[in-house]
Amino acid sequence: MTSIPLSLRRKVVIALDGDHVSPVSDGDTGESRYDSFKTVAWCKANLLRAHQDHVFLVTSLDAASAFDGGVLSAMWTSLNATEDPHQSRAKEAEAALRRLAEALHAVGVSCTMEVLRGPPSETIPEYVRLHRGELLAAQVVGRSALAEAVSFGWPDLCARAAGCPTVLIRVADLPENVASALDPPPQ
């Protein structure tokens, strides 16, 4: 098979929720990360073309969310720790994105990853423009009805500002068996 140069591949940005890639509380770590895995698997099954697309896996960690109860709890427990909780969270996010990138590589999808700093509604559209993204797939996690009525979530704001077609992927609607899309091919 002839390899398509990166410059000629379709550029797809998959934006994952920072709180699901690197959860701020230990209680939901496994489930949240599995939601990110299912989101990437759904993209592989429905949007991505192996050996023809290049994926940019991104998440954005917002320092403003440091006032979230889970973040405050993590900061409180880490007062005696030697590592800054924000650095630790960034390392966790990088490790999680790396595992997702490896899963995509295993099924023939070219991929790079990056942890962005700042509000996702600003950093992700900027990243899409900078890397000339042709498609944005944004993970939408459950929000309360009140939050939906009062304001737009970061995926909605990204869809408006990205400057390219956008697919919003509601985690709650993904079937459990979608994860099989990232099963490596038999040898």
From 77-86, 112-121, 147-156, the region with the lowest mean pLDDT: 77-86
139: phi then psi, degrees, rounded to nearest 5 = -75, 130
Give me the residue spans of the domains in the chain.
14-56+87-108+123-130+137-187
Of 110 and 64, which is predicted with more confidence? 110
Quote the tokens at residue 53: 């697309």
What pTM does this model have?
Answer: 0.82
Percent of the chain, pLDDT > 90? Answer: 54
One DSSP character per residue, 43-60 reads HHHHT--TTTEEEEEEEE
Give counts: helices (H), strands (E), the chain: 7, 5
CA distance 51 to 9: 8
65 close to 76: Cβ distance less than 8 angstroms? no
| Eight-state DSSP code of residue 116 | E
Instruction: Give how far Cα 138 sits from Cα of 20, 48, 67, 70, 141, Å.
Output: 12, 14, 24, 23, 10
Predicted confidence band of residue 23 (pLDDT cuts 50, 70, 90): low
Q: Closest Cα partner for 15 from 44, 58, 74, 78?
A: 58
**Per-residue pLDDT tens over the stretch 37-76:** 999 999 999 999 999 999 999 999 987 554 444 454 555 5
Cα(167)–Cα(174) distance, rounded to whole angstroms?
Answer: 14
Q: Across residues 120-124, what is the average pLDDT?
A: 96
